[in-house]
Amino acid sequence: MTPSLQAVPVPPADTLLQLFCRDTGHLERVMSDGHWLVQPPGGTLAERRPESFYEPGLPRLGEDGGLRRLRETLAAVEFFDLPDRVPSLDLPPGTMLTHVHRAPLYQTYAFSAYDPEGTLHVVEGAGDLWAPETFGALEPLVVSLDREVRGLWQY
């Protein structure tokens, strides 16, 4: 029996980008003021210090740095023009992710962002966060989050 997917929470209006795993409930938000909030499954939403590749050690993303790059990535993938669901990229059977020593684990993620007019857009895709290419058209967003806040730029 396949477990049901969790409902996508509506992000506050001052959210630049929200990532939500519909399988586990893991939530990440990059706020428009540069703060990064994380809620692990079953946990509490809390602020975390971004682990930026470009600006290490800053308490939050800067307007001319990480926030600008995330906005540029949203524009580059034409996020606000994407359909509600994008196809994932299936890796060949038997593929092993060498940096985590396992096969890809596809989970359903919802990416949410407000366009300049204030309309919320939610785009769903399946993939493995340790293999950003599995997200298809959303790959650049996963890579950007990895490099700006998640500290995962070495895969």
DSSP code of residue 79: G
Q: Residue 1: what pLDDT?
A: 47
pLDDT digits (tens, 9 = 90+) for 94-152: 888 777 788 888 999 999 999 999 999 999 999 988 888 899 999 999 999 999 998 87
Q: Residue 90: what pLDDT?
A: 83
Total-model pTM:
0.91
Q: Which residues contact 97 (CB under 8 A, 6 or more apart)?
A: 103, 104, 128, 130, 131, 155
pLDDT at 26 over 70: yes
Domain range summary for the chain, segments of one domain joined by +? 15-148
